[in-house]
Amino acid sequence: MRPMTGHYYLYSSETKRKYPDLRKYKDVWIRVSILGARVYVMSGKKVIYTMYASPGAIKKNGESRTPVGNYRIQEEAGEVFYNNDGVGARYCVSYDQHGVYLFHSVPINNFNSGVKAGKYHYGYKGGAHLTTLGKKPDSHGCVRLSVNDAKWIYEQRLNGGLPVGSKVVLKMH
């Protein structure tokens, strides 16, 4: 795995393995470990790629803001979105409630703060939401990924490697 230093949240999580073309695998699905802050892309029982993640923050009652359970990749996917507060993300793929719960990049904002990379500003509130990636659950409910990992998942969704209906399993561990 890539060391969690510098701007690691922009790049692929694995350094010794290239992104696989999921169209070449059978029984592709995604497993999310909320407390482990990892996403595992699976082929049957075999892990074929591991990504750093920041799923939903843990609430006072011990539950995650990310729903736990079995879901499916849905039709909704997009290159970028912003909410009414000017915070958003890149490379979104829905797995629950048709656009409510997504896999997407670390946060972006449209108020020119945070870390600038290309034409986007990453992070908000001082950028702390960038460096929690892979370390702890920290989102409002979606599953945050590095920019490159989110782009790869998005591209696999579009090219048929991760088709609509693919299984997504979210567990606390």
Structural domains in the chain, sorted by start: 8-171 (2.40.440.10)
Name the active-site residue from 104, 121, 140, 173. Answer: 104
pLDDT band at 129 (very low <50, low <70, confident <90, very high): confident
Query: What is the arithmetic mean of pLDDT over 83-102?
Result: 95
**Does 126 have pLDDT greater than 80?**
no
pTM of the model: 0.96
81 and 96 Cβ atoms separated by less than 8 Å: no
Per-chain mean pLDDT for the chain: 96
Tokens 């945050």 sit on residue = 144
* DSSP SS3 for 47: strand
92 among known catalytic residues? no
Which stretches does DSSP call E strand in the chain?
28-33, 38-43, 46-52, 69-72, 77-82, 87-96, 101-105, 108-109, 115-117, 120-122, 143-145, 167-171
What's the confidence (pLDDT) of residue 111? 87
104 is catalytic: yes
130-164 pLDDT tens trace:
999 999 999 999 999 999 999 999 999 999 999 99
From the candidates 92, 121, 129, 142, give the one annotated as an active-site residue: 142
* Residue listed under structure tokens 């507060």: 85
- Which two tokens mark 40? 């595992």
Averaged pLDDT, 85-114: 94
The pLDDT of residue 113: 86
